[in-house]
Structure 1
Amino acid sequence: MKAAFCDQYGPPDALEFREMPKPEPTDSQVLIRVHAASLNVLDYIIMRGKPFFVRLFFGLLKPKREILGSDFAGEVEAVGGKVTQFHTGDDVFGAKGFAGSAFAEYVCASEEELALKPAGISYEDAACVPVAGLTALQGLRDHGRIRAGQRVLVDGASGGVGTFAIEIAKAFGTEVTAVCSTRNLATARSIGADHVIDYTRDDFTRNGQRYDLILAANARHSIFAYMRALGRGGVLVKAGGNPTLQGAFEDLLIAPILSRMSGKKVCSFIAKLKQKDLICLAGFLEDGRIVPVIDRRYSLRDAAAAIAYLEEGHAQGKVALFFE
């Protein structure tokens, strides 16, 4: 099979498009012929091995996994003897979590990492959902305890997590304010945001407005600034944590203190791969409550260019890979 191969830390041009052995599924795995994949921020973090502490998890001197990529969608080609939920020919989508290996023509996955792709949904759309969609869903529902009628603000509303967060928050019946740059305001409105704030012109943490729930998809503000924008009993959810020393200090030490003293809850989390949540997202896809925003599409052969573009930080929604 062909794959985007990376056996050393470095910039995107360290990726090679090469022939590799086709994986063999274990008794509890499914072999999928991949038709589409999508990129996440974690892909270029692992690729570069920066910040340095990520190497403690992904390989000190070189990546443990030589094929990047979490999100994928494709067709089941074979199933292990212990697999009961999927059959040859099923269309599926899912994620490989931190293990990677989705930027290849074939991938092996466990049943827990998969859900059936809704009929009528393209492989590319389905491949864009797993990591970003799970992060938005779990952040709002599980950590934010979202409820109908709440005022919800999504900070960093233009990326993969942010765009899904707008759509999912609307699906829960809330009033949504999206914070993004000037060029992304129209997109935020088009996917359901009731209000938009251009962060280049207005600082929502100082404009006097208060929100019941804030999902910080990029956590560009200090925890104290976010707290100013929360109403009494409000919740701040920081998606993915913060890789800076200041952010880690706030998450580990300051957030618990503020949560106890202020009457407002502060939490930081990393999404967990749960099949029941993939199935929930499949339902949202099927009935149109979420429609992935795809900025650019690249062939698998051009995975290096795709990662370079995502790393620039200006992508609207998701960046997808298609397999020729």
Structure 2
Amino acid sequence: MRAIQILGDASSPRITTNDSMATPTPKGAEILVRVLAAGVTGDEVTWPEVYESASRIPGHEVSGIIEALGPEYSGPLEVGQDVVAILTTSQGQGQAEYTVCFADEVSRKPPGITHVDAAALPIPALTAWQAMVDHGNLAAGMTVLVTGASGAVGTLAVQLAQKLAIVGGGNAIPKVIALASAKNHDRLKQQFGVHEVHGYDTPGWEDNIRNVDLVFDTVGGDVLTKTWETVKRNGTIVTVGDPAPEWAFDAKVKPEESVSHPEVRHVYFIVRPDSHRLSQALEMVAEGAIKPLEVESFPFEKAELAWERARQRGRNKKVVITFETQ
């Protein structure tokens, strides 16, 4: 099969294509998917997992067709169905013509969304959903601040913040405040309905935002540090910023900011597969309840260019690699 590989190491990654990789065979309860489109996360070149794998195939977001089922699979999925999957961080290997998945990673693809658009959604949609609901305890009437609001995760987060609280039974739509570069302010207000937008380049932006119930930070670093000044005394800060804060993986390490904000709850997390939530997000996009991501697609033969584009900062489009004409 054809596949993309990342050779070298994190200090000098090299994207290449390979036309003669072995096609995997599903074992146990595994599911073999013929990949039609695969999402690209540019930061993956810094993740250790791909360099530790024998195949060196990256990719955690795929949309395609079920090709075969392992002998122990007994669920509702069938050969020939259109599906979307998010592969676990340790597994990956989605940027190939065939990839192996597990049932909790796979969702049916609604007919109202293309494979290209679907492949762009798993990581950003689930990251936004899990941040808002699972870790942020989103509720109607909250004030929510989203940093990096013009990115893939951010644009879905500002929409989901407004939709999910209502789905949960609330009546008051959350007030959504966005932090983004100036060129994206009109887009965030007009297309995504955010209530208030602030720019990174505005000195003291953190002083102009107050009484936030929930911060969802997608940026990290100094931006994450400044969000502590915006949150309520007993508010919550959820971050997926890269690099992760020092306190992310060690419960003994406390943020310096928590000294003056002792009641603020702070959470760092890594997105996890959730086929049920992914199905819900896909249906919301297919039905028009939330807008899909803007996508820039590249054929397999231009994989190196696709990765170069995906690693550029400040773009509004998610990069997807296609293995077959859609």
TM-score using structure 1 length: 0.87
**1:238 is matched with which residue?**
239
> Which of 91, 95, 104 is 2:86 aligned to?
95
Residue ranges of structure 1 left out of the alignment (5+ in a row) = 47-53
Q: Which residue of 1 aligns with 2:316?
A: 316
Query: Alpha-carbon deviation of 1:73?
Result: 0.3
Gap change, CA 1:28 and 1:19, over 3 Å in 2: same
C-alpha change, 1:160 and 1:74, in structure 2 (3 Å) is same
From 76, 83, 98, the equivalent of 2:66 is 76
Q: Number of paired residues? A: 310
In terms of mean alpha carbon deviation, does 18-27 or 251-260 score higher?
251-260
Q: CA deviation at 1:298?
A: 1.3
Structure 1 residue 300: Cα displacement: 1.9
Tell me the amino acid that sits aligned with residue 36 of structure 2: H
Q: Distance in 2 between matches of 1:14 and 1:261?
A: 44
3-state SS, counterpart of residue 206 of structure 2: coil
Change (3 A) 1:26 1:102: same
Question: Aligned letter for 1:135?
Answer: T
Q: Which residue of 1 aligns with 2:150?
A: 158
2:6 aligns with 6
Residue 104 (structure 1) aligned with residue 105 (structure 2): no
1:308 is displaced (CA, Å) by: 1.5
Q: 1:117, 1:238 → 2: CA distance?
A: 29
SS for the counterpart of 2:246 is: helix
The equivalences for 1:91-240 within 5 A come to 91-98=82-89, 99-171=91-163, 172=165, 173-189=173-189, 190-221=191-222, 224-239=225-240
User: Is residue 18 of structure 2 the alignment partner of residue 35 of structure 1?
Assistant: no
CA apart distance, 1:221: 2.4
* Contact 1:68-1:100 within 8 A present in 2 as well: yes
Checking the alignment, whether the CA contact within 8 Å between 1:8 and 1:63 is kept in structure 2 is: no
Matched to 1:96, the amino acid is L
Normalised by the size of structure 2, how large is the TM-score? 0.86
CA distance in 1, matches of 2:55, 2:193: 38
Q: Work out whether residues 146 and 158 of structure 2, in 8 Å CA contact, stay in contact via their aligned partners in 1.
A: yes
Measured on the aligned residues, the alpha-carbon RMSD in Å equals 2.4
Greater helix fraction, Structure 1 or Structure 2: 1
The 1:222–1:251 alpha-carbon spacing in structure 2 relative to 1, beyond 3 Å, is farther
Distance 2:121 2:259 in 1: 31
